[in-house]
Amino acid sequence: MLSFQESLGKFTVTCEVGPLKGCDVSEIIEIAEVLKGKVHAANVTDQQSSVLRLGSMVTCHILKSNGLEPVLQVTGRDRNRIAIQSDLLSAAALGINNVLALTGDYQTHGDHPEAKGVFDLDSVNFLATLSTLNSGKDLAGKELTGVPNFCGGAVVNPGAAKEAAYQLQLIKMEKKAAVGAKFFQTQAVYDLKAFEQFMNDTAHIGVPILAGVIPLKSAGMARYMNKNVPGVSVPDIYIERMAQAEDKRREGMKITAELIRGLKDLCQGVHVMAIGTEKDVPEILADSGVL
């Protein structure tokens, strides 16, 4: 299996691992066991949705020790530029070099809504910081001992419905690429036609794009996402299939595999976000023909 960085530009397959709330890591070790050799890398989310969990870096370290290459997700919500740089150097010292730079969900949406948000660096500043560290210096221009080799990536929401939201995404993508983003992972894609349009609109950027897919668990989940997750629109046909299906889990996996088959010729990879059902990923990938 290629390493994550070697796979970029060919067809990269990544998935997502969400740390649990607490310090029991047995589940993470099991997930690593199931996924290793099946995906190029697994993203580890960073206090996703502003809900407190086990840290992303230590989870990455455990995945790596168990044979699964990690992508460290880091948000700017909980860290200022000193903490961000220090965490990045710590990651490099552990041999964790793939980093997904995120602004972060707002803290009031999580389970500690009273927390103080930081947002010292936005995601573009953050990517620029990765490039600065790669040049052997910190943001203050001071020399580092040892030069890291980060492969920084970013997210993009290709389904933004309104003109302004969509154009703002494209412009920000260009900015992210200009300061050194090496890959993009997208919000969940269900509408291949709209996604094809997005790929055409961003062809000039020339950075590999990994399309996000989320296995549906029920028709209700699809309707919920349509209503509440900006940029996600699950077509009625899938909602109908989920509603009819007896084995919802299987149907959701089947739809995901179909989507991946369709995405294979459109972009440079897929990012399977199966939070809570990580162990289904190998079967989905096998069914879609990318494994």
Partner 1 sequence: MILSETKPFAEILTSLENDDKVFLLGCKGCAEASKTGGLQQVKEMKEKLEAEGKEVTGSTAVDFLCQKALVRSRLTPLKEKVLAADSVLVMSCGIGVQASAASISRVCRPACNTIPLGDSRGEWPSRERCRECGDCVLDFTGGICPLTKCSKSLLNGACGGASDGRCEVTPEKPCGWELIYYRLKGLGQLDRLKVYIQPKNFAKMEIPENVIPSTLYDIEFTEDGRAK
Amino acid at 29: I
Residue closer to partner 1 by CB (options 231, 282) is: 231
Rounded-to-integer distance, Cα 180 and Cα 152, Å: 7
Binding residues for partner 1, total number by CB under 8 A: 37
Greatest pairwise CA separation for the chain in angstroms? 61
Residue closer to partner 1 by CB (options 64, 81) is: 81
- CB-based contact 214:274 (threshold 8 Å): yes
Binding residues among 29-88 for partner 1 as defined by CB under 8 A: 81
Q: Which of 58, 139, 243, 266 binds partner 1 (CB under 8 A)?
A: 139
Residue closer to partner 1 by CB (options 149, 228) is: 228
Residue closer to partner 1 by CB (options 58, 194) is: 194
Cα distance between the two ends of the chain: 10
Residue 243, H or E segment:
helix 236-244
Residue closer to partner 1 by CB (options 174, 258) is: 174
- CB-based contact 120:126 (threshold 8 Å): no
Q: Which of 41, 60, 100, 156 binds partner 1 (CB under 8 A)?
A: 156
Determine if 175 is a binding residue for partner 1 (CB under 8 A). Answer: yes
Task: Specify which residues 71 forms β-bridges with.
Answer: 43
Rounded-to-integer distance, Cα 69 and Cα 176, Å: 24
Residue closer to partner 1 by CB (options 12, 157) is: 157
Determine if 131 is a binding residue for partner 1 (CB under 8 A). Answer: no
Stretch that binds partner 1, among 10-18, 119-127, 212-220, 239-247 (CB under 8 A): 119-127
Q: Residue by residue, what is the 3-state secondary structure of 234-272? A: CCHHHHHHHHHCCCHHHHHHHHHHHHHHHHCCCCCEEEE
Q: Which residues bind partner 1 (CB under 8 A)?
A: 81, 103, 105-106, 108-109, 117, 119-125, 128, 139, 155-157, 160-162, 164-165, 167-169, 171-172, 174-175, 178-179, 187, 228, 230-231
